[in-house]
Amino acid sequence: MADKLPIAVLISGTGRTVKNLIDHIEAGKLDVEIRLVVSSSERAPGLQYAEQNNIPIAIVKSSEYSETKEFSAAVFDACRQAKVAYVAMAGYLQLLEIPTDFEDKVLNIHPSLLPKFGGKGFYGYHVHHAVLTAGEEISGATVHFVNNKFDDGPIILQETVKVYPRDTIETLSERVLKEAEFVAYPKALQAIAEGRVQFDAERRVQILPKEA
Ligand code: GRF
């Protein structure tokens, strides 16, 4: 068993991603401690999962800050106070400026196989609509480190799903969430908790195999 990796989770919405992480932790499959949930809205339904599990909550709203830099500073101040080592965006819809002490410490999950179907405007159903319109036969989810652009940082890992001719946005998004996102995020965080995630000389992420 690896030591528990202290993390903060950033949410904006329904919170299925943070719920999945909590479920994996409770099942003993993820050596992570969620020390803080930061929400961009006090109305995010996902806050219920923090409340049910006695996880401290911080509400940090971008509307209360005039600059991205100040808003980001408030988010990361809360993370620093909670003494977390990593920050996991989970359905988080705000762009953040990553401070130096959190470089390569912030993760995001995106519901497509980046670099395809990522960037500004590609969120929620827009992603799956674009995948279906392009006639893709495979989609999936990408866990990546976050830099100061949407969906742009080094890729940690990807999980794929098939796209079927009869798929709708709803059926595809459900398959990507359950079969790709719910698998990929715990896997990436567990690899970090076990100290198996490294960068190579070209800043590509390498995941070392588990020791036998
Ligand atoms: C998922 O599509 C995920 O890829 C994206 O947000 C959606 C989940 O939101 N980042 P939530 O966790 O239910 O709030």
Per-residue pLDDT at 212: 67
Residue 5 has pLDDT above 90, yes or no: yes
Residue 92 CA to ligand 1 center (angstroms) comes to 7
pLDDT in tens, 54-63: 999 999 999 9
Atom of ligand 1 nearest to the CA of 91: 6
Atom of ligand 1 nearest to the CA of 20: 12
Cα separation, 138 vs 130, in Å, equals 13
Cα separation, 62 vs 51, in Å, equals 22
Residue 1 has pLDDT above 60, yes or no: no
Does ligand 1 lie within 6 Å of residue 118's CB atom? no
Residue 3 has pLDDT above 80, yes or no: no
**pTM of this structure:** 0.95
Q: Structural domains in the chain?
A: 1-103 (3.40.50.170), 110-144+152-212 (3.40.50.170)
187 pLDDT band, cuts 50/70/90, is very high
Does ligand 1 lie within 6 Å of residue 153's CB atom? no
pLDDT in tens, 134-154: 999 999 999 999 988 877 899
Task: Identify the CA nearest to 177 among candidates 126, 132, 124.
Answer: 124
pLDDT in tens, 115-134: 999 988 899 899 999 999 99
- Confirm whether 128 is a catalytic residue: no
Q: Whose CA is nearest to atom 6 of ligand 1?
A: 91
Cβ-contact 13, 44 below 8 angstroms: yes
φ, ψ dihedrals at 169, nearest 5°: -55, -40
- What is the DSSP code string of 55-105? --EEE--GGG-SSHHHHHHHHHHHHHHTT-SEEEEES-----PPPGGGTT-
How far from chain centre, in Å, is Cα 55?
A: 18
Provide, rounded to the nearest whole percent, the portion of the chain with pLDDT above 90.
91
Does ligand 1 lie within 6 Å of residue 93's CB atom? no
